[in-house]
């Protein structure tokens, strides 16, 4: 099956850029959010990003205009679901909210539509149980910022229909990404599990007084070649997002080290959620947050 019609649910930083990628890849896309303000903000942010690509000569004005023609910003979930072949969910990391959404999408979308979740912390098997089509539910995990990061983790599981992973991998490639197919589900998938191990060690080093937050980040950048240190990365992704992700992983694995790290628990408790709230591990004035 070649995917031509896509619905993305959730117009946050992840969902909006995933929708843009699909539109740039030639697919017709509905980007849905229940909050009209979120759709307005998403459209403004996407137009700024894409304008910049055009100014830099990375994209022609024609291709940008065509992509926006194919992209509908909509608060009507059923309109986008009615003829979708692929639905990508990118709402908050909340099992009850995602399960309710998957049950709703199951009722609204064509019987053979693929329901993908951008979650890394909740397996498709868990969400598939809320639907009558567990064989068509899959994790397709993009990375922040999706317009830039090349990877998508696509996870196969025992109940998956054989045509689903190839169709999702093909759609990701047409979005300009380099998807990686993985043979078994694990909460967190590969990248976030490795990232969690780095974050745990980084926190142990700062807690033990062996290095400051700034020093850990600088060393990861300049000694290991990471584009950002772990604390900068947590601030960019959102500490609430990391908290929810680790909590969900812990609830599924029961492994103590999968819990959110205490520093993140503390900062979230003080509503320091990272760049988006003006402060997390670092403080962000207007200029730095940009």
Q: What is the binding site for ligand 3HC (CB under 6 A)?
A: 49, 52, 56, 58, 120, 143-145, 147-149, 192, 195, 227-228, 233, 237, 241
Nearer to ligand 3HC, 103 or 284 (CB): 284
Quick one: 1 or 151, whose CB is closer to ligand 3HC?
A: 151
Q: Which is nearer to ligand 3HC, 81 or 245 (CB)?
A: 245
Radius of gyration for the alpha carbons in the chain, expressed in angstroms and rounded: 19
Residue closer to ligand 3HC by CB (options 77, 91) is 91
Least gap, CB of 132 to ligand 3HC (angstroms): 27
Minimum gap (Å) between residue 107 Cβ and ligand 3HC:
27
Widest CA span in the chain: 56
Evaluated on CA atoms 81, 84, 90, 95, the torsion sign reads: positive
Sequence-distant (≥ 6) Cβ neighbours of residue 279 within 8 angstroms: 272
CB of 14 to ligand 3HC, least distance (A): 8
Shortest approach of ligand 3HC to residue 124 CB, angstroms?
15
**Nearer to ligand 3HC among residue 56 and residue 62 (C-beta):** 56
Cβ atoms of 93 and 122 within 8 Å: the answer is yes
**Min dist. Cβ of residue 142 to ligand 3HC (A):** 7
| Cβ contacts of 173 within 8 Å, gap of 6 or more | 179
CB of 12 to ligand 3HC, least distance (A): 11
Can you tell me the distance from the alpha carbon of 96 to that of 92, in angstroms, rounded to the nearest whole number?
Answer: 10
CB of 5 to ligand 3HC, least distance (A): 24
Q: Are 106 and 135 in contact (CB under 8 A)?
A: no
Alpha helices in the chain (DSSP H): 13-24, 36-55, 61-70, 77-81, 95-108, 124-128, 164-174, 189-207, 213-222, 230-237, 239-253, 262-269, 286-289
3-state secondary structure of 62: helix
Nearer to ligand 3HC by Cβ, of 52 and 92: the residue is 52
Name the residue whose CB lies closest to ligand 3HC: 145
Helix (H) or strand (E) holding 117: strand 114-117
C-beta of 9 vs 233, nearer to ligand 3HC = 233
């Amino acid at each position: 099956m070649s995917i031509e019609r896509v619905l993305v649910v959730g117009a946050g930083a992840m969902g909006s850029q995933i929708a843009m990628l699909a539109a740039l890849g030639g697919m017709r896309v509905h980007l849905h959010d229940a909050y009209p303000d979120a759709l307005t903000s998403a459209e403004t942010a996407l137009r700024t990003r894409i304008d910049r690509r055009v100014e830099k000569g990375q994209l022609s004005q024609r291709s940008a205009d065509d992509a926006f023609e194919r992209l509908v910003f909509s608060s009507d979930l059923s309109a986008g679901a009615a003829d979708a072949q692929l639905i990508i969910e990118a709402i908050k990391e909340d099992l009850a909210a995602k399960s309710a959404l998957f049950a709703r999408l199951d009722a609204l979308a064509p019987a053979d539509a693929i329901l993908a979740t951008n979650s890394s912390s909740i397996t498709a098997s868990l969400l598939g149980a809320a639907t009558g089509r567990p064989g068509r539910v899959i994790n397709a995990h993009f990375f922040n910022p999706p317009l830039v990061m090349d990877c998508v983790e696509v996870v196969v599981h025992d109940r998956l229909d054989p045509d689903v992973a190839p169709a999702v991998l093909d759609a990701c490639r047409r979005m300009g990404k380099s998807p990686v197919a993985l043979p078994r589900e694990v909460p967190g998938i590969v990248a976030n599990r490795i990232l969690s191990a780095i974050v745990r060690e980084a926190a142990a080093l700062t807690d033990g007084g062996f290095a400051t937050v700034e020093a850990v980040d600088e060393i990861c950048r300049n000694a290991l070649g990471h584009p950002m240190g772990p604390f900068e990365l947590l601030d960019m992704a959102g500490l609430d997002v990391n908290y929810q992700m680790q909590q969900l992983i812990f609830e599924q694995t029961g492994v103590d080290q999968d819990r959110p790290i205490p520093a993140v628990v503390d900062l979230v408790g003080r509503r320091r959620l990272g760049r988006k709230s003006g402060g997390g591990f670092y403080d962000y004035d207007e200029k730095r947050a940009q």
